[in-house]
Copies of this chain bind each other. A is one copy, B any other.
């Protein structure tokens, strides 16, 4: 749902370039992973958490990950500009030297780094909150792919495209078995009674870096925070709802479908904790 200009920097395997071979398995099969990092003051935020998730993704997909040190260095170097940026890092299984799905047909690995200017975003979104809708496109359930940030994102494309871009800041998605999972590009948190809940991502969804950090911050604050299976009806009863990702941090939800809700104190407290943590980082 977010907008930004075309990339101001593209590196392929560390070299400036704009194009990659059509035989790349990232194009052919979505055979790869990605990370999106927010960069401020010349530094990539939460870099270690992003690298950790990338490593986990490589392991889950059976991809070698011996380039992680190079990737870390490359991201750090690309972030070293005065203006705020977003870096998208894509890692694919490289070129298919033979046809066919088998990973033994792949040669090497390829990394693509794209740096964008950080989009100008109204600070009102984090202050007053955003409106979200419920997508009708659902997330298929597959534990083999759940949690990791892989390149098979058609479900998110379809969900995001169900309504005009300005209809809502985000679309929340249910799993094929009817559980609330996440937004198309965000994780979701709900305050129910005095408990902070975020849906489990063991059957579908992405284990967001910001989701992980918010769970840590909540625990450090003494909040009762947990990953749970989550019925969509919880959206009607939750005292507070907020969205997270690496770019937006925490966005309060002030309207979900037809329901208006206030920005509550748990959301505000976690926003403050997050600001402090990111200032330290």
Are B151 and A28 in contact, CB atoms less than 8 angstroms apart?
yes
Task: Check A142/B176 contact, CB under 8 A, given A3-B100, A98-B4, A101-B157.
Answer: yes
Closest to A113 in B: B22
Contacts from A to B (Cβ < 8 Å): 1-7, 10, 12, 17-31, 34, 61-62, 86, 88, 90, 92-93, 97-105, 112, 114, 116, 119, 137-142, 144-145, 150-161, 164-165, 176, 184-185, 204
Are B22 and A12 in contact, CB atoms less than 8 angstroms apart?
yes
Q: CA A26 – CA B99 in complex, angstroms?
A: 18
Are A27 and B29 in contact, CB atoms less than 8 angstroms apart?
no
Are A102 and B165 in contact, CB atoms less than 8 angstroms apart?
yes
Q: Write out the residue numbers on chain B whose beta carbons fall within 8 Å of the beta carbon of A156.
A: 29, 101
Q: Give the oligomeric copy count.
A: 2
CB contact between A26 and one of B27, B158, B165 (< 8 Å): that residue: B27
Are B20 and A20 in contact, CB atoms less than 8 angstroms apart?
yes
CB contact between A154 and one of B17, B104, B150 (< 8 Å): that residue: B150
Are A144 and B152 in contact, CB atoms less than 8 angstroms apart?
no
Q: Write out the residue numbers on chain B whose beta carbons fall within 8 Å of the beta carbon of A22.
A: 10, 12, 17-20, 90, 112, 114
Question: 10 closest pairs, A vs B, by CB?
Answer: A140-B140, A30-B30, A140-B142, A152-B152, A19-B19, A101-B160, A29-B153, A103-B161, A3-B98, A102-B160
